[in-house]
Structure formats: structure tokens, C-alpha cells
Structure 1
Amino acid sequence: MTLHGRLLRRQLATSRRQSAIFVLCVALSIVTLVSLAGFGRSVHSSMLRDARALHGGDVIVESRSPLSPGLTAAVNRVIAAGRAEGARINEFYSIIRPAGREDSLLAHIKAVEPGYPFYGTVDLASGRPFRQVLAPGRAIAEQTLLDRLGLRVGDRLRLGDATLTVADVVTQEPDRPVNVFSLGPRLFVAAADLPSLGLVGQGSRVSHTIILKVANPRETDRIAAELRASALRDRERVDTYRTAQSGVKRFFDNFLFFLNLIGIFTLLLAGIGIQSSLAAYLAEQRPSIAVMKALGATGRFLVVHYVAVASVLGIVGTALGIGASFLLQGVLPELFRGLLPATVEFRIAAPAVAEGLVLGFLTVTLFTLLPLWQLRAVKPRAILGKEEDPTVRSRAVWVTTGAVVLFFLAMVLWKVEEPRSGVNFVLGVGGLILLSLACTEAVLRLLRRARPRRLAARQALRGLFRPRNATRPIIVTLTAALAVIFAITLVERNLDASYIRSYPPDAPNLFFIDIQPGQKEDFSRTLGMPALFHAIVRGTVTAINGRPIDREAERRKRGDNLSREFNLTYRDSLLEDERIIEGKSLFRPDWQGVQVSVLDTVVEMSPMAVGDVITFRVQGVPIEARISSIRTRTRAAVQPYFYFVFQPAVLRDAPQTFFTAVRVEKPGIAQLQNRIAARFPNVSIFDLTETVAVFARVMGRLSVIVRFFTLFSVVAGALIIVSSVIATRQARLREAVFFTILGARGRFVLSVFTMENLIIGGVSGFLALGLAQAASWIVCTRVLDVSWQPFPAVSAALVAATVVLVVAVGLGASLSIIRKKPVVFLREQAEE
């Protein structure tokens, strides 16, 4: 065996604890990203495999309004020529009632033509074929719908103007979007019954879809291209099963985007742990390094040797991380239960493993550069036990810092695939770490000057600045990681307080949509209470300042965007919860031509200012409007609002519907719903008391997933604590022995170490809480537009949990030191 080999084996054997910490940090740095990469590929491959079933056809035509004559004619030509079979699907929400009873329920109605679905199956509880069961006069319901209304198969229910018989129960359908986001249980009806329901009129909120089964699969793209040429680009979409975005895929892509950001954040913090643990490891080896230098070892020999040490530990950590990623695949299905189709197979493919190997190599390389560079500063005098830290040249610090920043930025751009979002995330994380570092430095300076009366407290403060004690990186890492977890918790609590637990007492809870112009007066009388009616005119944005909207680029944005169809309205005054932030008034009396007031949310989608010109297409008619003002909402209550408000004269004569919202106490909701549904079956009624319950369930499940992955960041901080205790073991032992020799009891030593960890935990917790409170305030008031509360009880619990965690980890790592007998320690020192 070579000299390097013998030294490597001996040093790994004598520094098993620090080696273990290093390995765990490496594993932690890659486990989240590799498991998410494998998870993402599993979902994407499963959806690609089942793409036809997820959409029910080869070509999918979609629109939020009735299909244009040109596109309808093109579809009919393809079907008439025998090139494809077609089936129309209409989806909307409506109130259903058991026949002869007063209770009611909002349901998701899906009216389908024979042939649906062409791929996949709709499974029924009876086991019968879906196409044979669904016939005119019949309905197929989800079990949830029957349970909530107390119905059984064979019972009759009222839907609009028709009475239907419940023929069966649906247990699974192939193209069902993420079920937790549906505002009501599903009810299938035959498309032939649609006219008799009386629910669909001009301007009704209906999703229109045609699915086509292509006779010759090789013609799929050609047929889609032909139909796309006849479609209205601003409101009709034509896709193949390969290019269409299912509800499941849209949800998954957006959520995985967020989880990947957390994974990259964890990688960064684990990288800090790698650097800290290697520095502690080399600090333990300093006497050996000094001896080797005294015996003539060169700096190059030492660097090569410890690069080999780091490489071996890095390989072990990478293998452990990839292995843990495989184990994590068994946990992910349970975490995502109910959010993804049951057909998704969770596995890690070879590309994810290769990605893990590359990540492991790059992470270990970048985060070990600085500690390895420090080897040059170790002098032979360290044999005498000098504790001073080696000096590091500023050039090395800047080079390694720059390399880490570039690596971090490249990781973000690679995973996020959106330069703007990636840069914002890097700036946000950089700002968080810099703030954590600045606050830590300020607190540590104050603690250095503190002179408490109690001896134990003085010794605890002195211990924070013990040579090689990683107090600073511990606090910075824990502060940054916990700030993210605290902020998520506080934002969730504020959302819960605003929309769920204490639904605003003056906020409307019943929304009535698709009121026809001729029904407005009669509807108002039937409603029997004051209500403000808002006109809805459907339109799209086609250009800003003459620059056409790139709809494909807009659709790729993760948030709201300008590619969709908007609800436009007209009025000449502000709502109670609106104020103008740019412009002199809602509309300018000194301006000629069409004017429009936009909500500040629109400005976030695309930069625009007062005086800019927006081109709209309303019912096929182009309208150019000059921005007269920019509005914002002044409170977070669930109130009607519009992105675009026009002057009344501009849209008053356009095809339109109306909607209104009122506040009704819970006991009166069912009675009012039934009265409105009986007289105006075409009007859609949304009960937000049910919606917030759905929202609460979704938020709860997503919060669990986010916290699960964020906890890996906290583990990184805990590993640094353990590493710091191990690195300062000798100094801690010496202090404990001196305390005992001077007459102190074991309780005193325990109190000193406990206080030291209490300070670290308290400082980390309070700094994290301060940053989280600020972040949650910004997110709630500026992004989500909800009221903000500090939640002192929850905040205190979070800080207390942090202190308990740090004390438990710190004392757990220090138990062997506390239990060490002074005579044993002195004998070992004498032998040395």
C-alpha cells in the first residue's frame, strides 16, 4: 500500500465522527434534487405513456366560448371525410337538487356525446360499460355527490329544467384533473339532454371541448395543423395528446418548480455544512498536518492527500444520497396521495442517477476548495497545540465564493428554466443569507461585549467564541433554513385566517354568474336583497403599444398571463375596495378616444404605464384603449374585481352577461339557491363556504409536502452543530476538567453547555422569526393581497421548538464530553 493509502486509512479511522458528518452533508446536498428529478421523470413518463387516456383522444380542441364557425366547419369536414371520429364535451357548474326536496349542491356537470372517451375507460361501480349506461334522461354521479345529498342509484334529481335518474356511480375517469381542485363533485349527463336542461345560454361560463380519434395515427399532427389554421388564435386551442397540457400536468409542473427551488436551497445550505465539517475535520488533523510538515511534507503532498480524503468521503456521501433518493421514492406517493393519478409509477431512472453523480462531484469540489486551501497556512508550530485559526488570503475567499455563486446560479437556471424567475430566486436567497450573516455578526458582537453576573453564563458566552467553534455558520445556516419554514407557516396561517377560519364577516359568500341582460330586473326581485350587478364582456388582449402578444410565451409563464380570455367590464366609478395608484382619476376627461383602467396585477404580467395603448379583441372586434389609470385593491376580502374597466359607452352595447355577489347566513343559503335555481336554471351559483373548505384541504396537503422537503435544510444546520461540537471536543474536555478540578460539579458543566446551546438556538430562532415576519408581511400584503397578522403564539412556539432542537442536538453530541472523568483525560494528556 502506498504512503497516501496508509495515511488515508489511518486518518479516516481516527476521525470517524467528522467523516460521518461530512458524508451526511454530501448525501443531504443531493438527496432532495435527485429524488425530485426521479419523481419528475416518473410523472412525466407516466403521463406521456397515458397521454391519450388523460385527454381521451388524439386531437383536442378547446375553447371557453362556443367554437367559431370556421373551426366547427373544419372539424365537421375531418369527421365527414372519415379521417377521425369526434365527440363533444361541455363542462360547467350548476346546482342540483334531489327531486321533491329542498337541499341543493353545486356540482361539476360534464355533458358528453357518445364515443367519449376514445381512449381509457370511465370505471363505474356496477362494472357496466360507460357508453351503455349513459343515455338521455340518465346521469352518472360521483359517490361524494350521492353521499352529500343522501341519494342512491335509481333516485331522481333536478338539474336545470330537467329531471334525471341516477343510473350509476363513477369511480374513475381518465381525463379527470387534480380532483382536490374541483369545486363540486362530478355529474355526467348525455349531451342530448343539454338543450332540455336550459342551463347554457349566450355568455354562459362553459368549457367547450371536442376530442378526435384519428383513423390513421400518422395523420394526427396534420389534422391538428389543419384545425389550428381555422381556429381563432386568441381564444381557441388545438393540440395533440402529446402537446396538450392536462390539469394534472399543469399542477405538477408548477408545484415541482417550487419544490426544486427548495431543493436547490437545501443544496446550498448542505454545501455550507460540507465546508464547515471539512474545516472541522482538518482542524482535528492539524497536529498531524504540522508533524508531516515538520518532517518535510510539501504543501502539494498535503493537498493531494486531503483531496483524496475528500474524494473518498464524497463518493460515499454521493452513493448514500442516491440510495436515500431511492428510499424517498417510497415516501413520495403517500405525500402526493390524491394530487396525482394512481397510475403514476415512482422510480428513479438512470438519468437521475447520473445527475446525482454530477451534482455530488461538483458540490464536493466547490465546497471543499477553501478548507483545502487553508492547509497551506498550517505551520509546524501547531504541534505545540496552538489554537489560532489559519489565515486565508482574500483572493482564495473571493474565488471560491464566486465559483459557488456561479454554480448556484447555473443550478437555478437549469432546474427552473426561466431566467427571470431564476435570477429573482438567486437574489432572494443571496439576500436572505446576507441578511442572516449581517444579523449574526451584529448579535455576536453584542454577545462578545456582554458581561453577565452568573459564572455559567459567562463561560457559555466564552464557549461561543472557542477556536474552531462554528458558531457563525451554525447560526447563519439555521437562520436561513428556519426563516423559510417560519415564513411558509406564517403565510399559511394568514391565508387560513383570511379565507377559512374567520371568513370576513362582510365578504360575499354566494356568487351568481351568467345572468342574462333580460333577466337582470327579475333576478334582482327574486334575490330579495340589495346587490350590485357587474357586467361581464369576454375579450382578449392582442397587443401592447402595437407589439403583438406572444401567446405561446405567455402560456409558459407560471403565474397569470395575458394569453387567456379576460372578463372585461364597464363603469365610471371605483369600487369600495379600490384606489388609484397611478393617474389622476379612473378616466381622463381631457383625453379623447377609448380609455381603460387596469389593475396593478396586470402590470405584473407585463410592464405597462399610464398612457400606453392596449389592443383588445371583443367578440371579434378590435378595440384600442389608452391606459388612463392603474388601480389597486385596498383590502383582501373576497370581493368582485376586474383587471380591465372601460368607460360605459364603449362596452354597453356589447354581448354581455352579469354577475353579482351577496352575503347570506349559512341557514339561508340552501333556500336561496333553490329559489334562484328554480327560476333561473342558467345562472351558476358558487357557494364560497364550500370553496374555502376545498382550499383548506389543498393548502394543508401542500404545506405538509413543502415542510417535508424544507426540513432537509434544518438537518443541514443540525449536522453543523454536531460537527462543531466534535471539532472543539478537546477544548470542551479541557474546560470541563478545569471546572471539575476547581470544585464545580457535573451540574455546572451541564448548565454551561446547555446555556451555550440555548444562546445559539435562541439567536437562530429569533433572527429567523424576524426575517420570516418581514417576508410573510411582504408576501401577504404585496403578493397575495391578504391581511397580515404576526401570530405571536405560533411565533413563540416556532422559536421554542428551535431552541429545543438545538439544545437536544448540542447536548446529545456533548454527552460523551460531560461524562468524561477528569483523571482519564489527564492520564491521556500525560501519555501524549
Structure 2
Amino acid sequence: MHSYSRTDIGWLLKMAWRDGRSSISRLLLFMASIILGIAAVVSIQLFSENVKQNIQDQSKVLMGADFIIDSRQLPNEKVQAIIDSLGADAYEVSFPSMAAFPRNGAAKLVQVRGMEGNFPFYGTLETEPINAAAEYQKRGGALVDATLMLQYDIKPGDSIKLGLVTFPILGAINSMPGSSGISSTVAPTVLIPYRFIEQTELLQLGSRKRYQYFFESPEADLIKLDKTLDPILDAENADLDTHTSTSRRIGRGYGNLGKFLNLAAFIALLLGCIGIASSVHIYIKEKLTDVAVLKCLGASRKQAFLIYLIQIAVMGLIGGILGTAVGIGLQQLLPFLLDGFLPFDVEVSISLQPIFMGLLLGVLMSVLFALQPLLATWYVSPLEVLRVSEKQARGSKKIRVFTFGAILLFILLFSLWIFKDILFAFAFVAGIFITFAILAGISALFIKVIKKYFPTAWGFTARTSLLNLFRPNNQTTVLIFAIGLGTFLISTLYFTKDILLTKTALDNGSDNANIILVDVQPEQRDAVIASMSPAGLEVIDNLSIVTMRMHSIKGKLSNEIRKDTTSAVNDWVLNHEFRTTFRDSLIASESIIDGSWVKEVNSGEKVPISISESLAENAKLGVGDPVIFNIQGVLMETIVGSIRKVDWTRLQLNFMVVFPKGVLEQAPQFHVLTTYVPDSNKSAALQRELVSKFPNVTVFDLRQIYTVIEDILGKISWVINFMAFFSILTGIIVLIGSVRNSKYQRIKESVLLRTLGAKSKQILSITALEYLFLGILGSLAGILLSLISSQLLATLLFEEPFVPSGIPFLLFLPSIVILVLIIGLSNIKSVLQSPPLNILRKVG
């Protein structure tokens, strides 16, 4: 076995440098493919690492305690005994309510937190002035969100009215553990001592309250505690949250965004790999004569092969370094772009793993995907100097199979690293392999159909362009494959982007309510409606809400189901306090998917209820199944009459359980009213009047919620579009390289046509038609395949509905066809501008 000395290695490096120095411009597509692909991977992986690390590091600070026991009602004796045995260090009750500011008459929906104890134990309750955090409980004052104070020009020393109690404002809350940025923007926090809650008289029937008990226990075994106590608390309608489980939940909350960013990185890198293969194919095809000359001068096939392998590896390393640098820069932007979306500040740090992977990927993907075209240098004959051979030796079949297997393994390992799921990794590799096979099959079928049904009556230029598609050494399969695959990946990314951004189209027109009045008591309803009439506001919805729990499902008591370890019924169904309503018709966000809707029932009849699709799945209920509800001590027998599909994304009142009329009218209830307010002035006036007359009524101004959500989704949309653009740009570069791949064959054919007397216009038409056919077939096949892949991604990965957009058909299809056409025509530009003999000398 031959071993190389330092002299031999030095000679190889010199030859690689001398040859590559004159070919830098020809490798720009190669470099661009690597840089963009690596930049996408490094930036996304660095950002993901930072988010995970920040959540882990700040999990205690985000919660403010080691663990929390919470309940939607006052704890019963069993839950209270557990709380007492663990020794709660602080506790609170929190609920949304309207607050009034007597100095300027303003009113605002806030989140009231009645606190007892020295909370938080981790992190800091940051206030202005600083001492307000330590003094508000002792002095009986309120701390108010700093942004809210700024909006309403409120200062320490002013007052805030909550229900029947007016509190002095002692300071502004700058930050507080246990409250997210999004929720505090919609309903800013107001912190008061717990002992004043009862005096406010804000907690009424139906109030959405939450009792929380905070524990400081750094030595506690949280995993064991969660495993032991959580099932007991769940059975009593309470819950245990540890700081570790909270951090995992926060991480899952940004799952779809992370999945999309990983998908964008995966596609960008895959497109980059295809770009490498295409670019190296072009490059090596130009160099085959040089390789033949080297072999004539005594160079071995291994030396010729290594010269170009060294070039590609070095270019891959440089591309990896540049791509990693760009990725680090992009990573610095992502926290800024997502400011306000994440419930914590992401401290940007540089971890070594993504950087090392970026550099390794640069070399690995360059060498691996360039290996197949590089093998042409191994089998080129020295006689190539003396003759022109269109057909190149393909080499050993075993080597080609080995190379293909190595590429599949690389894609599998990379997707496993990106998605951290072996099933997803195999699914992606299988999907890509199937796509490859389908595109190859389409091109083969296309050639067969043209041969069988060749339009002999067509003109010379049209016939010649079709003949080129199945002539010897044609590149129809290669071009349809490259164009189709590039279009497939770009369209899949676009459709996936649409899946995540569907919810950004919020409907806030005048036909829909934008003010919701909650917790309206029965004796207040008429008076509240009367307060709205002078302002010219019409009541859109006037709903009665009845709270209840499931007593038994299909004849089996809820307590028995909880104890049954084999039961498939979800625990939350058994513990949930359902807010139900009754009406005689469906609303816009609902549609019946099973059973039939019942408008009204008479006394003594069976009560057919309508349940949401999600509840039916979680409770394992079907049409005709019996359910008994406990309505504040009274048992009511019902059967499932229908199952509804509910669009929960709409900002309107949707319900899991809906009763027909004639059943719940006399049950204990509260009311919800909705109306439409045209502008902020009328909204503010309505809120001021209601908070002064009915302090327990909570007003949700959806106009403010729309603004917050649109701002957050706008930031997410920007990031998603930016990363999608990054991958699409890579795809365009790949398409350019793939079409340029056919340049040399086209030049020779066009020269021969000119030599035989063909006019420039005819050559132009033949070339244009050929690339038009290839562009249309390749891009159309890619888009149609992307519809299938996007549906699978929506269902299996993102668990979101998929509504196809027309943009890929209306924009991508013509754009890619035009791009292919322009590049294809540019291939023969030199033929049309120079004498045939000059061209033959250059390419011969």
C-alpha cells in the first residue's frame, strides 16, 4: 500500500492551491450553498441551546418557589391537610378584575394578586421605590404594574379602587416572578395584601380565581414529591407544580416555533447539500481535460483524485467557518426579534457544540456530497486529451451504492440531531427517499410518453426541443430531479410557514364582539344592559353560564375511573369544573361532525347534550353515551346527542358542553354579555361606568388583546419568514447551479446546429422550449409533492390544520419556470455571440 511522504503531500497541496486559485469564481455557488446552510443550522441550534439553558437556569426565578400547590377553589380538608403538613411559606389568591383610578377616572382590566407571606423566595420583586416591595403588606397598600402606571399617568401616592376598597398606591412593579410577559400585558398585575380580598367583595359566583400555596424547600426530592402527591391532589381538584416541571412546560410552549426553525435549518442544509453536488459536478466536468493532462504527465488516479478532494475539503472548511460566523451573528438577533414573546430575557452565550458541528458539517457535507462527481476524476482516461467523449465511465457500482448509503446515513444522523426523535428522523429520510423515487419516476414516465406520443406534426423548433428531452446523454432526469426537489423543499417550507401563521389573521371586524362582560350576576344583568343602551351599544351575546363537574361517565363514577389504572379517560376531564351554557343554535365557530343538534327539550325527557370533539376524545365518549353531571349538589342525567368541531382559535365564547334550552334555566348561574365598541374612547367610557356601578363585573377589551397578540405573532412571523427566506435563497442558488449543469452539452449541440445552418432565432426557440418544458414539469411536480408532505407535517409534527395557499402555484411555479428559462438561455449566450469554430475550440 502506497504511503505519502511529506513531499508528496506538499506537492498535492501546491497543485490543489494552484488549480483552485484560478477557479475561485467557479466555486461561488458551492461556497454560497455551504455558508447559507451552515448559518441556518448554527444560528438556530445556538438559539435553541440558549433558550433551554436559560429556562433551566431561571426555572426557580420564573416560578419564585421550589414548588406550588394550586387550586381553582378553596382547598378542601384533605388538600389543606397536605398543605399544612408541608408548611406553606406564602399563599395568594389571584383573579381578573376591573380597577378604577379615582384621580383621573380611568378603568382597566387587571390581575389582582392577594398575597400573604414573603414571596418570592427566588428572584426579586422589583419595585420603584425599592422599599415598596417590603412594605406593601404591612402598610396595606397596592403595588401596580409599572407600564399600567405609565399609561394612565399614575404615580406612587395616588389610589386604586378594587371592588369596595380603595388602596393607596405605594409603588410600581417592574418585574415579578410567576407572571408572564404576555398575560401581564393583557391584564397587568396589581398586588395587595391577602387580608383585604374579602372586603373587596370581588369574588362572586363564577369568578375565575386561583389559590396558590408557595413552598421554599431546596432540599426536597421534587421528582418523588411530584410522583407521590400529584395524583392525590388531582383527585381533589388541586395540582402540584415544581420549578422543573414548569420549565419543561415553558419549553413545550414554544414547541411549534422550535420545530419550524429546526425544519428550516434541516431544509436549508439539505438544499445546501444538493447545491454542493450540483456545483462540484459542473466544476469537475470542466476539469476532466486537466485531469487527463495530469495523467499523461505521470500523475496517478489517486493523486488526481486527491488534488480535487483537497480543494473541496478546504472550500468546505472555509464555507463552514464563514457559515458559522454568520450563524453566530444571526443568533444575536433572534432574542431581540422575540422580545416580549418569551417570559424571560434570553442571555446570549456561545456554546461549543453548535459551532463545532457547523465546522464539521462544512467539511463533511462538502466531501460527502461532492464524492459522486469527484469519482469522475478517478476513471477519466489520459486519452480524453486527444478525444471528446460524451459518455464518462461511471465506475464501480459498489462505490456508487456505498456513497449513496453514506449520504442517507448522514441525512438520518443529522435529522436525528436536529429533531431529537428517532421516528421523525426515519420519517424524514424515508420521505426524502420516496420524493427522490417519485421525481425519478415522473421524469422516466415523461420521456416514455414523449417517445410514444411524439407530435410529428409540430414545427421544426418544437420537435427538436422535444427530441432533446430523450436524445442520448440527455439530462432530462437530472434537471427534473433537481428542479423538482428544489421546488418541493421551498414549497414545503412555505406551506409549513403558513401552518404556523394561520392564527395571525385575527378577525376583529364590526360583526364580532370586541368587549366581553364576565361575572354578571343574575340580579345585575338588566341593569348592566341598561347601562350600555345610552351609549348606543347593542348586546350581541347574552349567555347564561352554569358550572358543573362530571359525576359519572357511561355509568362509572368519576372516583372509580380515577382509581382504574387501565382507564383511557384523561384525568383533567374528571377534575375539571366545566362552564357550560344552553342555547338553541350553533355559532359560527362550530359544526356538527356526529349525531344531531337538539334545540330544546321538555321537562321529563332525556337531556341530549352537545360536546366538543376534544372532550369526546379525552373522555372517550360517543353519541348515545350517558353522562351524569353534578350541578352544585344536584345530579343531572344526560346523554351525548352530538359532537361538535370547535374552532378554539377564534377570540369568542366557545364551550366544551352545550345544553339545549328547557333544562338549565333555573340552575345557579351567572351571565356573560358581549358587545361591539367602535373606538377606544367609547370603550374607556363604558369600562369607567361599569366599574363604578358593578365592581365585580370584569370587562375584557378584546381590542387590547388583539393588539398584544398581533404584536407577538408579528414577531414570530418575522422570525419564521426570515428563516424561510434563508432556506428559499439557498434553494434558488441550488436551482441556478442545477440548470447551469447542462451548459456544456447545450453549447455543443447549439454549435452543431449553427454549423448545419440553423439561425440564432431557431436555436434560441429550441433552447427556450426545452427549458420551459423542464421548468414546468419539475416545479409542478415539486409543488404537488409538497402538498402531500405539508399535510403530513401539519398532522404529525405540528398538530395543526393545513389549508393550502395558492402562492406556490401563482408565484413559485411561474417564478421558478422563468428562472430556469433565463439560466438555460444564458447557457447558450456565447454560442449566439461567437463564431462556431471559436466555441468548438473552447469546449472541445
Shorter-chain TM-score bucket reads: 0.7 to 0.9
Q: SS of the residue aligned with 1:242?
A: helix
Shift of 1:507: 2.0
Taking the aligned partners of 1:343 and 1:567, their CA distance within structure 2 comes to: 36
Matches within 5 A, 1:340-739: 340=342, 343-356=345-358, 363=365, 367-368=369-370, 370-371=372-373, 383=385, 384-388=387-391, 408=411, 411-412=414-415, 414-417=417-420, 471-484=479-492, 486-487=494-495, 495=503, 497=505, 499-500=506-507, 503-516=508-521, 529=539, 531-537=541-547, 539=549, 565=576, 567-569=578-580, 571=582, 573-577=584-588, 578-585=590-597, 597-602=610-615, 609-610=622-623, 627-633=640-646, 638-645=651-658, 657-666=670-679, 668-724=682-738, 727=741
Name the CA distance, whole Å, in 1 between partners of 2:562 and 2:411. Answer: 33
CA distance in 2, matches of 1:592, 1:295: 101
Equivalent residue number for residue 841 of structure 2: 829
Amino acid at match of 1:112: M
**Structure 1 pair 484–587 and aligned structure 2 pair: CA distance change class (3 A):** same
Matches within 5 A, 1:86-485: 86-99=89-102, 103-133=106-136, 138-179=141-182, 182-214=185-217, 217=219, 228=230, 231-233=233-235, 235-245=237-247, 249-288=251-290, 311-340=313-342, 343-356=345-358, 363=365, 367-368=369-370, 370-371=372-373, 383=385, 384-388=387-391, 408=411, 411-412=414-415, 414-417=417-420, 471-484=479-492
Q: What residue number does 2:49 align with?
A: 41
Question: Matched residues in 1 for 2:574 and 2:348: separation?
Answer: 33
Residue in 1 that maps onto 2:4: none
CA drift at 1:230? 5.1
Question: How far apart, in 2, do the equivalents of 1:553 and 1:119 lie?
Answer: 40
User: For 2:142, what is the secondary structure of its paired residue?
Assistant: strand
Matched AA of 2:691: A
Q: 1:604 to 1:231 in 2, by over 3 A?
A: closer
**Equivalents in 1 of 2:78, 2:741: separation in Å?**
75
Larger displacement relative to structure 2 (505-514 or 15-24):
15-24
Contact 1:177 1:247 (C-alpha < 8 Å) held by counterparts: no
Distance 1:805 1:758, change over 3 A: same
Structure 2 CA distance for aligned equivalents of residues 144 and 461 of structure 1: 71
Q: Within 1, Cα distance between the matches of 2:790 and 2:818?
A: 24
* TM-score of the aligned structures, taking structure 1 as reference length: 0.76
Determine the C-alpha separation between the residues in 1 that align with 2:284 and 2:109.
66
Q: After TM superposition, give the deviation of residue 445 of structure 1 in Å.
A: 10
CA distance in 1, matches of 2:469, 2:46: 44
Q: Is the 8 A contact 1:512 1:686 kept in 2?
A: yes
Q: Is the 8 A contact 1:468 1:724 kept in 2?
A: no
Check conservation: 1:61, 1:236, Cα contact below 8 A.
Answer: yes
Q: Judging changes above 3 Å, is the alpha-carbon distance between structure 1 residues 102 and 553 closer, same or farther for their aligned structure 2 residues?
A: farther
Amino acid aligned to 2:332: G
Q: Paired residue for 1:72, among 80, 86, 90?
A: 80
- What percent of counterpart residues are identical? 23
Per the normalisation by structure 2, the TM-score is 0.75
How far, CA to CA, are the matches of 1:477 and 1:348 in structure 2? 34
Q: Deviations over 1:248-282 (max 9, x none)?
A: 54444442233222222323322322332333333
**Matched-pair contact (CA < 8 Å) for 2:790–2:802:** no
Q: Deviations over 1:60-105 (max 9, x none)?
A: 22334443432233223333xxxxx622233332223332655533
Equivalent residue of 2:216, what SS? strand
Distance 1:41 1:71 in 2: 38
**Change in 2 beyond 3 A, CA 1:588/1:199:** closer
Match of 1:31 in 2: 39
| SS of equivalent to 1:532 | strand
Q: In structure 2, how many angstroms separate the alpha carbons of the residues matched to 1:204 and 1:646?
A: 21
SS in 1 for 2:44: helix
Moved more, 281-290 or 69-78: 281-290
SS of 2:284's partner is helix
CA-CA distance at 1:830 after TM superposition? 7.4
The Cα shift of 1:229 comes to 6.6
Q: For residues 245 and 330 of structure 1, do their structure 2 counterparts lie closer, same or farther at Cα, with a shift above 3 Å needed? A: closer
- Distance between the aligned counterparts of 2:484 and 2:563, measured in 1? 43
Contact residue 538 and residue 567 of structure 1 kept, 8 A = yes
Cα contact 1:104–1:673 (8 A) shared by 2: yes
> Which secondary structure state, in structure 1, belongs to the residue aligned with residue 277 of structure 2?
helix
Distance in 2 of aligned mates of 1:246 and 1:53: 14
Matched residues in 1 for 2:226 and 2:593: separation? 45
Gaps of 5+ in 1: 80-84
- Alpha-carbon distance in structure 1 between the residues aligned to 2:620 and 2:170: 53
CA shift for structure 1 position 694 = 1.5
Indicate if the aligned counterparts of 2:746 and 2:828 stay in contact, CA closer than 8 A.
Answer: no
Letter of the aligned partner of 1:631 in structure 2? R
Partner amino acid for 1:170? I
Q: Counterparts of 1:461 and 1:490 in 2: how far apart (Å)?
A: 40
Change (3 A) 1:751 1:179: farther
5+ residue gaps in structure 2? 1-6, 534-538
More displaced, 367-376 or 742-751?
742-751
Matched letter for residue 279 of structure 2: S
1:193–1:635 CA distance, 2 compared to 1 (3 A): closer
Q: Is the 8 A contact 1:617 1:623 kept in 2?
A: yes
Cα distance, 1:39 vs structure 2: 1.9
Deviation at 1:224, TM superposition (A): 6.2
Deviations 1:281-319 (A, max 9, x none): 333333355667889999888777766665554444444
> 1:642 is paired with a residue of what secondary structure?
coil
Cα pair 2:481 2:778 within 8 Å, conserved: no
What letter is aligned with 1:713? S
Q: Structure 1 counterpart of 2:513, which letter? A: P
- Separation in 2, partners of 1:409, 1:541: 49
C-alpha RMSD over aligned residues: 5.9
Contact 1:513/1:684 (<8 A) preserved: yes
Preserved CA contact (<8 Å) 2:573 2:618:
yes
Equivalent position amino acid for 1:329 in 2: Q
| Cα pair distance change 1:800/1:114, threshold 3 Å | farther
- In the aligned structure 2, how far is the partner of 1:617 from the partner of 1:433? 58
Does the alignment pair 1:54 with 2:62? yes
Cα distance, 1:242–1:640 mapped onto 2, change above 3 Å: closer
Aligned residue for 1:113, secondary structure, equals strand
Does structure 1 retain, via aligned residues, the 8 Å contact 2:499–2:801?
A: no
CA contact (8 A) 2:518 2:672 kept: yes
The one-letter amino acid of 1:69's match is: E
Greater CA drift, 385-394 or 477-486: 385-394
- Asked whether the 8 Å contact 1:177–1:248 carries over to 2, the reply is no
User: Alpha-carbon deviation of 1:411?
Assistant: 4.7
Give the paired residue count.
815
8 Å CA contact 1:640–1:661 kept in 2: the answer is: no
In the alignment, the residues of structure 2 paired with residue 643 and residue 405 of structure 1 have an alpha-carbon distance, to the nearest angstrom, of 46
SS of match in other structure, 2:97: strand
